[in-house]
Amino acid sequence: MDRLDNTIRPYAWGSTTAIAKLLGVEPTGEPQAEMWMGAHPGAPSRTERGTLVEAIEADPERELGAAAVAKFGPRLPFLLKILAAGAPLSLQVHPNLEQAKEGYEDEERRGIPVDAGHRNYKDANHKPELICALTEFDGLCGFRDPIEAADALDGLGVDSLKPYVDLLHAHPEEAALREVLTAILSADPQEMARTVAEAAAACARLGGQYAPYADIAHHFPGDPGVIAAMLLNHVRLQPGEALYLGAGIPHAYISGLGVEIMANSDNVLRCGLTPKHVDVPELLRVVRFEAGDPGVLRPEASPDGEEVYETPIDEFRLSRYVLPEGTLAHDLTRATPQILLCTAGAVRVGEHELTPGQSVFVPAGEKAEVSGAGTVFRATVVA
């Protein structure tokens, strides 16, 4: 197995302290948003054998196992991250597999460079994801009931929001949410900026359920995504709780530290809270206009102590082991590739001692025993 040397991405929304605190090092003073663990070509983990991409390409079946290669091809199908949000991320959705393939092929035919700012599809893959909180973690996930959203907007007392309130009351659920989001994202920018400023002031004054939106508006003054965000469920995860984000579900992370796992893709369609490109027609094609509970996940424990976060896809499977002092070694050997990440305490995996933020890649079938006292997240696939 390989100890991983991982890249920290310095996106502007990143916390300046959270990842450094987890690693037990001094903060650099710069934002540290994500630490990537895996074989994504944008920032592959490094090993003594070269990058993880190179190690896998040298012998895919040995590293990934025959079943995983047959199902997903000769690549690691997931990317594991530590994510530290110090400011809200963009409001976004991800396409399903069919939409991703269609969108990618269309942009390839039209000759749009893959690194162009207005390109939507960087690859032909979908991007389901799961975020598990390490600290209290705030986010937005999925549409709330249109009547609840109408009441929240109406409670701000902003006259220019009343047309949206009326739309939310006047139509069936899907039509109401579609029409309101379309109207918000298509509004005159100057008029919307004034509306957002009034709404932000009201949110700050009222507090309570409005406090998260006041915080978002503070970071993105005048952005129509502030109003769009008020259509969504606000979720506060406690450590160990998680959210699964499937295709078409609008979402945004607001603050906190978590372990995130996703299919190996870069496909993001943004709704707002960003200076980046927003393709409204394509966004509306992908969004699922369904209200519902965001569905907070809690792990299901198995007899051997593994706590699994159940999801409906096969590209990744996330679980954790919470090991008290004196626990006997757990055999984690598996016929699929694994990344094991320590997030608390000190554990031993094979020959490697791991402290918080450190990780190893375990090839398919490689003997892997974990012992010590701490918390270990296990990322693998279902093959």
Active-site residue set? 270
End-to-end CA distance of the chain: 20
Q: Are 122 and 229 in contact (CB under 8 A)?
A: no
Give the separation between CA 133 and CA 121, rounded to whole angstroms. 28
Q: Are 9 and 43 in contact (CB under 8 A)?
A: yes
Nearest to 117 by CA among 309, 268, 246: 268
Task: Dig out the tokens for 211 from the structure.
Answer: 């406090």
Q: In angstroms, what CA-CA distances link 355 with 250, 319, 375?
A: 35, 18, 10
CB within 8 Å of 187: residues ≥ 6 apart = 195, 224
Would you call 131 helix, strand, or coil by DSSP?
strand
Task: Dig out the tokens for 34 from the structure.
Answer: 């994500």
Q: In angstroms, what CA-CA distances link 76 with 139, 242, 262, 341?
A: 28, 23, 11, 16
CA dihedral 364, 368, 373, 375 (to 10 degrees): 0
Task: Dig out the tokens for 17 from the structure.
Answer: 């302290």
Q: In angstroms, what CA-CA distances link 133 with 68, 159, 217?
A: 28, 38, 24
Nearest to 160 by CA among 213, 106, 196: 196
Q: How many CB atoms lie within 10 A of CB 127?
A: 25
